[in-house]
Chains A and B, each alone.
Chain A
Amino acid sequence: MKTTIVLVTTTLLLVGLLVSTTMNTQQRPREDQCFVCHDMLEDEATVAFRSDVHRSAGVSCADCHGGDRFEEDMDIAMSSAKGFIGIPRDIAISKACASCHDDEERMRNAGYTGPIGQLASLRHSAHAQGTHSGEELVLQCTSCHGAHGIRPVKDPRSPVSPLRVVSLCASCHSDPAFMRTYNPSLPTDQLAKYRTSVHGQRNLAGDPRVTTCVDCHTAHDIKPANETTSSVNAFRLPATCGKCHSDAEYMKPYDIRTDQVSEFTTSVHGIALLEKGDSGSPSCNDCHGNHGAMPPEVTSISHVCGTCHSLNAELFRKSRHKVEFERLGKPECETCHGYHAVQPATEELLSLETNTACGSCHGHERAPVGYRAANIMRGLLDSLQITVALADERLHAAEQKGMEVDDIRYALRGAKQARLQSRTAIHAFDLDVFREVMDPGLLTARNALRDAEAANSEFFFRRYGLAVATLIITLNVILLILYIRRLERKDRAVA
């Protein structure tokens, strides 16, 4: 009997406990209790969170701050036992974001179509370099996107939207005192320059399609320009600019050409930069500027080219062509050399046929002085080129014969140097200046050719000399043999 009572009592207790537990579960609220309470309090963060893209995607306060979103009891919900961490600091902020944004499946299920793995990109970016002691990143996700009122990038109210992101970046990058603490050598005038550019002016006028900081530098994977993996590195810049400027459809509303990059890649500069890897060759920004990108105007193009071709520019500025070009409204360098598709400057530029660099203005009757000067310059340049080529060929022939011609080859370098200098001297458009460089070069080349011919002749002289010497020695050998035979015959006869 006792046993029956104990069994019944135990069963009832267990059933009661089970019912009680089930009832408790059924009574627990399914609403985000964090938001429910804080919304009533109308604190700033929660008010902002009302329109946050994350709230509509079902993200709770607890997803970032920890705690139990369904617990009504505030003390339990925000207890450390429930994993409540309060306000995340430093890298914990970005890690909280990355806990979802690194999970592609979860992000795609939530309807997100943007990039994944931003924190990893950020960790390899310039914003992870030169941080203050103890910091892993210079900035966290919230530094740009905000904390509680995060909106999609395309939402004009988002701080990272095209029309606002420039100011956002400038909030740090235009603050010299702040930037000095991280990178004292980095300029802080990017925004000011940007506002002078076509891009900046259109952006200010409300065009969200023009390029902003993130279009060139990328949003998260920002690298210093001197790193070859940077989207704004000289080697990669044509492709970066070409993303928009080579897209005919995208550029249609602006009514500008879209062949700049394709022309540049075939130019002497493009080939040097992109094919030969010559970092000294100009990229888009070297002529157009970086943040203040503008097409160089007629009056300024010689200054742009002159930053590298300084001697040419200096001679041109002093030349009579400077005045004439200004009078005719012709751009200085571009008139003869073109711009994006600049080709190697050969002697052909001095051609006097119609529609050529010189010939288009200097006709036999129209401008006889210039015509004559160009003719002489071309003739001298051709002479120098032919003499140098001939000397090279004769030196090669002498070397093939085993002759030592290092000295002559060294001297010939002077003529080659004169050829280069004479091309620069052309920009004075003055025959006397040109001949100052050309005449010594021609003399050096002719001397080198003469010495190279002499080296070839010396080879044959050696061969003929050897033949004569061998003949004399062989003759002596024969005479000696005959003499020895005679002597020994005589000796035998005596014996």
Chain B
Amino acid sequence: MSNNHEHRRPLRPSTFASAVTDWFDERIGVRTLIDMARKKQVPIHRHSIWYYLGGVTLFLFIIQVITGILLLFYYRPGADTAFESIRFIMTKVQFGWLVRSIHTWAANLMILAAVMHMFSVFLTKAYRKPRELTWITGVLLLALALALGFSGYLLPWNELAYFATKVGTEITGAVPFVGKHMLELLRGGPQVNDATLSRFFGFHVALFPALFTVLLGIHLLLVQKQGMSTPLNIEKKKEVKSIPFFPNFLLRDLLLWLIVLNILAILAVFFPSELGEKADPFAPAPAGIVPEWYFLFMFQILKMLPPKILFVDGDVFGVLLFGLAGLFWLLIPFLDRSSQKGLQSRNFTYIGIAAIIVVLFFTILGWVS
């Protein structure tokens, strides 16, 4: 294979970089990949801005991995050590406060970017054939990101984290038939305690990141394989402008990443993560316990449901409702037949807008109440 590339002219023969590229090209044919990237085109139109959200999410995930590994050097899971180790990170470790703050803020921004990315894909119908699998892996990645957020929230073992986890895991108990077992599986027993912390730590640093990486690999491979989707109304136009993925689109991506990094740094310094009070399982729950903002809409809906709906307990009804909604959302590419045929499917546009309104409305309601 290397012989096929021997005749090629290096990009910049005089530079050290091209020599390194040549070295790799002779062994693994790296120039083929570069050529592929150069040939890959990204459509440019009035909705192109949404293409960057996936890249931002990826960038924030990379930051999460790096800061997470740094935190792992000092974090010690356990009811007697977790809070103390976080305090140690915040006060004694050089730039420990910054790493923790960036980890917390990047987690929130990553979920925000992922949610926006998902809704942009939904409203531009980018899930339509042949990108059904990209959509499914994307939805699963968002679910994993939420799970990472939920499991990570408990790790500082402070008062707020403890009671929010207690309330959050209690909701799992409402799942019909298997709820109680799921609750015990999550908590490692009937109560939130040391066992829960160990379990959540395992989920947060091993299981979920591993699954996330595999799914992310498939997701990115599919994106590279299938290229960027063009919205239906743009696709019908005779001529759609495009730019090369490499280096033009990638440089724009990099530009946005730098801006996000700046925002992240400002947030981390001006609004650093708080340490809070150490969790005391015997203390009464403090007033105003609410979950993280990305669970707030579900929490608010569950709170507002009447105790009984059609002979079913309100919370059971709510959990079933969310389960069905999630399944519906996952199977959208197969349910939206019109977009599969290249037709505008206004009903699914309305569904998407309705979902955004519901999420926003109940999140704001949960926030203000």
Contacts and interface: CB of A to CB of B under 8 A. Distances in A.
A401 to B, nearest CB: 10
Contact of A404 (B91, B243, B269): B91
A477 B247 CA distance: 16
Contact of A484 (B87, B252, B259): B252
Contacts of B266: 466, 470
A406 B87 contact: yes
B85 to A, nearest CB: 13
Contacts of A473: 258, 261-262, 265
Interface string B263-290: 0011001001001000000000000000
B259 A407 contact: no
A187 interface: no
B255 A466 contact: no
A476 B257 CA distance: 11
Interface in A127-151: none
Contacts of B92: 407
Contacts of B160: none
B255 A484 contact: yes
B228 interface: no
Contact of B265 (A402, A469, A483): A469
Given A470-B262, A473-B262, A402 B252 contact: no
A477 B254 CA distance: 9
Contact of B251 (A463, A466, A474, A483): A483
A430 B259 CA distance: 67
Contacts of B244: 491
A480 B91 CA distance: 36
Binding site secondary structure of chain B: helix
A481 interface: yes
Nearest to B268: A466
A477 B258 contact: yes
B265 A484 contact: no
A463 B248 contact: no
A481 B255 contact: yes
Interface string A391-408: 000000000001011110
A351 B121 CA distance: 80
Contact of A487 (B98, B247, B275): B247
A404 B262 CA distance: 24
Contact of B272 (A402, A477, A484): A402
B240 to A, nearest CB: 15
Most buried by A among B91, B265, B266: B91
Given A473-B258, A477-B259, A487-B248, A466 B269 contact: yes
A158 B359 CA distance: 88
B97 interface: yes
Contacts of B272: 402
Contacts of A487: 247-248, 251
B42 interface: no
Nearest to B262: A473
Interface residues of A, number: 22
A469 B262 CA distance: 8
A31 interface: no
B282 to A, nearest CB: 21
A488 B258 CA distance: 20
Interface string B106-138: 000000000000000000000000000000000
B82 interface: no
Contacts, number: 53
B90 interface: yes
A476 B255 CA distance: 8
A484 B255 CA distance: 9
A465 B269 CA distance: 9
A2 interface: no
Interface in A443-488: 462-463, 465-466, 469-470, 473-474, 476-477, 480-481, 483-484, 487-488
Contacts of B259: 477
B243 to A, nearest CB: 8
Contacts of A466: 265-266, 269
Given A470-B265, A483-B251, A484-B251, A404 B90 contact: yes
Nearest to B244: A491
A455 to B, nearest CB: 9
A407 B255 contact: no
Nearest to A467: B269
Between B90, B97, B258, B275, the greatest number of chain A beta carbons within 10 A of the residue's beta carbon is seen for B258
Interface in B291-325: none
A480 B265 contact: no
Contacts of A480: 251, 254-255, 258
A469 B98 CA distance: 13
Contacts of A462: 97-98, 269
Contacts of B97: 404, 462
A356 B244 CA distance: 91
A220 B272 CA distance: 67
A477 B265 contact: no
A406 B265 contact: no
B91 A476 contact: no
Given A404-B275, A462-B269, A491 B258 contact: no
A463 B265 CA distance: 10
B275 A406 contact: yes
B91 A407 contact: yes
A93 B243 CA distance: 112
A402 to B, nearest CB: 6
Interface in B227-248: 243-244, 247-248
A474 B262 contact: yes
B95 to A, nearest CB: 9
Given A462-B98, A465-B269, A488-B243, 10 more contacts: A406-B87, A469-B265, A470-B265, A473-B262, A474-B262, A477-B259, A484-B252, A487-B247, A491-B243, A491-B244
Interface of B: 87, 90-92, 97-98, 243-244, 247-248, 251-252, 254-255, 258-259, 261-262, 265-266, 269, 272, 275
11 contacts: A462-B269, A463-B269, A473-B258, A473-B261, A476-B258, A480-B258, A481-B255, A487-B247, A487-B248, A488-B243, A491-B243
Q: Which 3 pairs show the lowest CB-CB distances between chains A and B?
A: A466-B269, A473-B262, A404-B90
